Structure 1
Amino acid sequence: MRTLGLTRTSPVTFEEAERVVDEDGHGDAEENPDGLARVYVSPEVDGWTLVIGPWCDPCDGERAPEILRLCTELSVRYGRAQAYYYGWQGDGSAWLVVERGAVLRRYCETGEAEDEFFALGDPLPLERDRREQLRLSLAAEGSGDAEFEDEWKWAAFDLAPEIAEALGVNPLALTAETRVRGTGVLAVTPHRT
């Protein structure tokens, strides 16, 4: 929390956090109209600590450099750090995977023209497997091949939760059997408006 600059924590349950993060993300909270002022920091979940909220979006036009820097710092300290965006209503996916200070992959597919500028690193094994299933050439990424781009766009739109699960923890797939240790908190970000 110190590395991320998070302050003023208050314990909350997953259920309460989900409601708050959803309200914040949709601009429904009066005290957090842009959704960037608060995040949920989970208890340890299967060995991972999750930080959830729009503030963590790895491909947000304004926040992307900061999220890249923070994930890099966290990965130096803890070995691995990841950031994800997933739009529940068909708004796309984004992922950032950093290990020991090196970016392995950042990719964004939200239907915005700027998405292509966020790509860093080589496709992850899950991306390669999905492309192979779809019979899409890895060489076609960024080539301007409209058919490839369109088909891959639709496949990648929903890929963030699968990548999170393959590399760590998918917060959308937590169950009663998930190992949890500690207490989750709602925290104020340095972005507080």
Structure 2
Amino acid sequence: MIVGAWCGLPYLTRSDLVTDLCQQLSSEFGRGQASFHSEQNDGEAWLIAEGGAVIRWWISEYPELALGEPFGVERRLLDAFGISGKPEDLDPEDDLASSWAATWGDCDVPTVAAESSLDPRQIRPGTSASGIFLVADTV
């Protein structure tokens, strides 16, 4: 899991760097994740890579850039709205797209991260995790 302001996926100037890093980490350790969660309604973004390949990349402000198939909580929420496809394929002017977008509180980064690995809001000294957990200071 990559965390820190420097990896904000909505900042497109950093998206290639973050994508490459997640792919590299997933090649070496099985999975790499990066996410951006805003408490000020600046959007949600996540990137999950496995075995060197991106399996899902979603940026709420740039749905046209999405990669991969929705899974987990994202897929379940789409199903609940009767959306069989992907959110990035919805017409933003459509009522269904507006209804879906209004539900982001049910499909935010902490929820996606918790389902995929660890909820970043719950990481504290002594938090246990399976597998390899790397910590790096980017200062």
- Provide the TM-score with structure 1 as the length reference: 0.60
Contact 1:136 1:148 in 2 (8 A): no
Backbone CA RMSD of aligned residues: 2.6
Aligned pairs (5 A) from 1:38-187: 50-109=1-60, 112=61, 115-133=62-80, 135-139=81-85, 141=87, 142-144=89-91, 146-156=94-104, 159-174=108-123, 178-179=127-128, 186-187=137-138
The size of the alignment, in residue pairs, is 134
Compared CA separation, residues 177 and 66, structure 1 to 2 (3 A): closer
CA distance in 2, matches of 1:140, 1:169: 24
- Identity percentage over the alignment? 27
Contact 2:56 2:66 in 1 (8 A): yes
CA distance in 1, matches of 2:6, 2:26: 18
* Structure 2 segments unaligned to the other structure (5+ residues): none
Structure showing greater relative contact order (alpha-carbon pairs closer than 8 Å, 6 or more residues apart): 1
Determine helix, strand or coil for the equivalent of 1:117: helix
CA distance in 2, matches of 1:131, 1:184: 34
* Structure 1 segments unaligned to the other structure (5+ residues): 1-49, 189-193
Compared CA separation, residues 162 and 183, structure 1 to 2 (3 A): closer
Contact 2:48 2:54 in 1 (8 A): yes
- Provide the TM-score with structure 2 as the length reference: 0.81
Report how far residue 56 of structure 1 moved.
1.2
CA distance in 1, matches of 2:135, 2:30: 22
Report how far residue 183 of structure 1 moved.
9.9
Report how far residue 93 of structure 1 moved.
0.8
Report how far residue 123 of structure 1 moved.
0.6
Higher relative strand content: 1
Compared CA separation, residues 140 and 183, structure 1 to 2 (3 A): closer
